[in-house]
Amino acid sequence: MMLSRRQSESMGDGGAPGSVAASRRRTRARASAAGRRAPVVAAFLLAAGLTLLAASCAGPEAETGPVDRKVLVLGIDGLEWDIMGPMMETGRLPNFSRLVAEGAWGELRSLEYLESPMIWTSISTGKLPAKHGIMGFTAKGGGRGGVVITADAREARTVWDILGEKGRTVGVTNWLVTWPAEPVNGYLVSDYIKFDWRGVGRKQEDTTYPPDLAEELEDLVVRTEDVPDERAGEFVVGGLPVADEFENRVRTLKSCIAVDETARRIAFHMAETRPTDFTAVYMSGVDYVCHHFWVDAFPGTGDPVSDRESELFGEVIERYYQEADSVLGEFLELADENTTVIVTSDHGHSGPKLRGDKYAIGIAMHDPTGFIALWGKDIAGGRELSEPSVLDITPTLLALYGLPVAGDMDGRVLDEAISDEFLARHAVSSVDTYEPDTSGMEEDESESPVESPVDDEIKERLRSLGYIE
Ligand SMILES: [Zn+2]
């Protein structure tokens, strides 16, 4: 959370310091509102504490010290059990089915507010938004659509920060709210790598760490207009429509494909050229297609689409899940016997919500229950997790690496997912916190979001998803 040069600029004469300050006040106000959920936090902490207490009584054979392990976290936004269940039963998602059959799985509980940036940051910190400070896509100020919230607003350390400090190499690709890219013990390809930096009058500085990585990855970025018609046609019944009237819908489909194709290509390039102990990859296409093609698949559940559209685009969602399954299969091929894989969503999807006589879209389409599965080394097979939460992922990752869980985290170790043998050898321990001691330091302005030259493109995407006005 450094005050970067770019941020200093944005807060100077050329920027809009008033709006940034306003957004910060707004963030603070929302943070304190979220703080009223303290009893929930207390319950979480109590549960986590009891787990720790029980685990610390493990036998004398318990080992301490580093665990040699690789972990891949594949984050897929918006995975919905109600869609996956029937597809798994009919054999159409073989790789997800394999995870569930051989691993530990559950219905993942999300947060009270279903805004992806705050949830993915809770996943990567183990903390509620009131503690990590990422309160949504945008904050008030900054003109139409508000200020886009960036990584500078994050007030908690991520699991990759902690793992890196403990000597593990880490690699992060496309995780939400990771721009400007902060230094890590490995690489970080921020979620801004995919935006169009051409013609904005500056280089895409700070989209990656190390900074010179951005240039190497430039050719791997797939833009909407790069997606061939035949590729988009794979998701459309009978192939691509020739009628110009569906041009916008095809373009939308291509934009969904482009963002995931970018993340996939970069993640595999990095895995091949810079393998790391910990790898996290985020993909948003499933969520996007659910927003854009829900009513085609489930006619009558939102503002009507024509029969022709429903016929053409009615299978986009299912076909996209099959695409996600095949990408998962590729990732599983990368996993050796020393690798643990966690596949997680942030929330599920349940379509537009009728409010009065209008259908609400955007965040209203998110469902509080998502998908999670753990698989591979030291995972107990065939177990259903007991009310797993997005807050539990970071504590579980730390435990899998034999590292203490922090008392100021709001989740618990999903110990029922971990083999009894591993837990007996590596008792879960705890520390008070991994946060730096900032007492006595003057609070600077580094928590404010940073403006970027691609903000308009980002806000346009958020608007198309119905997330912002
Ligand atoms: Zn969504």
**What is the whole-number distance in angstroms between the Cα of residue 13 and the centre of ligand 1?**
36
What separation in Å is there between the alpha carbon of 157 and the centre of ligand 1? 25
Spacing, Cα 110 to ligand 1 middle (Å): 13
Task: List, for residues 83-129, the tens digit of each pLDDT value.
Answer: 999 999 999 999 999 999 999 999 999 999 899 999 999 999 999 99
- Residue 353, pLDDT > 90, answer yes
Distance 290 CA to ligand 1 centre (A): 8
What's the pLDDT band for 172 if we cut at 50, 70, 90? very high
> If you measure from the C-alpha of residue 370 to the centroid of ligand 1, how many angstroms do you get, rounded to a whole number?
12
Cα 363 to ligand 1 centre (Å): 6
The whole-number average pLDDT for the span 154-162 is: 96
Taking a C-beta distance cutoff of 8 angstroms, is the pair 414, 396 a contact? yes
Confidence of residue 372 (pLDDT cuts 50, 70, 90): very high
CA of 172 to the centre of ligand 1 (A): 21
- Report how far ligand 1's centroid is from the alpha carbon of 351 (Å): 10
Distance (angstroms) between ligand 1 centre and the Cα of 21 equals 28
In the reported structure, the alpha carbon of residue 285 is separated from the centroid of ligand 1 by a whole-number distance in angstroms of: 10
**What's the pLDDT at 438?**
74
pLDDT in tens, 384-428: 999 999 999 999 999 999 999 999 999 999 999 999 999 999 999
pLDDT of residue 63: 56
**Per-chain residues with Cβ under 5 A from ion ligand 1:** 287
Stated as kind and residue range, the H or E segment containing 329 is helix 316-334
Average pLDDT over every residue of 181-204: 84
Q: Ligand 1 centre from 26 Cα, in Å?
A: 23
What separation in Å is there between the alpha carbon of 114 and the centre of ligand 1? 8
> What is the per-residue pLDDT for 454?
83
Hey, what are 84's tokens?
Answer: 């996956």
- Cα(291) to centroid(ligand 1), Å: 6
Distance 79 CA to ligand 1 centre (A): 10
Query: Would you say residue 196 has pLDDT above 80?
Result: no
pLDDT of residue 457: 84
Ligand 1 centroid, distance to 390 Cα (angstroms):
16
Whether residue 23 has pLDDT greater than 50? no
For ligand 1, the distance from its centroid to the CA atom of residue 130, given in whole angstroms, is 21
CA 146–ligand 1 middle distance (angstroms) = 19
- Ligand 1 centroid–CA 18 distance in Å is 30
Q: Please state which CATH number belongs to domain 5-464.
A: 3.40.720.10
The predicted-structure confidence for 261-318, as pLDDT tens digits, reads as follows 999 999 999 999 999 999 999 999 999 999 999 999 999 999 999 999 999 999 999 9
Q: Which two structure tokens, joined as six digits, stand for 394?
A: 């970071």
Residue 73, beta-bridge partner list: 280, 342
Cα(261) to centroid(ligand 1), Å: 18
pLDDT of residue 143 exceeding 90:
no
Q: Which residue has the higher pLDDT, 109 or 437?
A: 109
201-221: pLDDT as tens digits: 556 678 999 999 998 998 999
Distances in Å between the alpha carbon of 431 and those of 164, 398, 406, 423? 17, 11, 5, 18
How far is the centre of ligand 1, averaged over its atoms, from the C-alpha of 366 (Å)?
Answer: 6
The span from the CA of 304 to the CA of 308, in Å, is 12
Q: What pLDDT sits at residue 227?
A: 95
Note the pLDDT of residue 19: 35
Ligand 1: centre distance to CA 112 (Å): 15
Percentage of the chain beyond pLDDT 70 is 83
Query: Cα separation of 346 and 108, whole Å?
Result: 8
60 preceded by cis ω (within 30°)? no
* Mean pLDDT of all residues belonging to the chain: 85
What is the pTM for the complete model shown? 0.84
Span 51-70, pLDDT tens digits: 444 444 444 445 556 789 99
Q: Domain residue spans in the chain?
A: 5-464
Q: What one-character DSSP code corresponds to residue 379? A: B
Name beta bridge partners: 193. Answer: none
**Ligand 1: distance of its center to the CA of 348 in Å?**
9
358 alpha carbon to ligand 1 midpoint, in Å?
19
3-state secondary structure of 189: strand
d(CA 412, ligand 1 centre) in Å: 26
CA–centroid distance, residue 287 to ligand 1 (Å) = 5
Q: How far is the CA of 384 from the centre of ligand 1 (A)?
A: 26
Q: 440: pLDDT confidence band, cut at 50, 70 and 90? A: low
Residues 6+ apart with CB under 8 A from 325: 92, 93, 94, 95, 96
Strands 383-384, 104-109: pairing kind: parallel
Q: How far is the CA of 54 from the centre of ligand 1 (A)?
A: 38
CA of 362 to the centre of ligand 1 (A): 6
pLDDT of 260 > 60? The answer is yes
Q: In this model, does residue 448 exceed pLDDT 80?
A: no
CA of 203 to the centre of ligand 1 (A): 29
pLDDT of residue 447: 62
Distance 93 CA to ligand 1 centre (A): 21
* % of the chain beyond a pLDDT of 90: 68
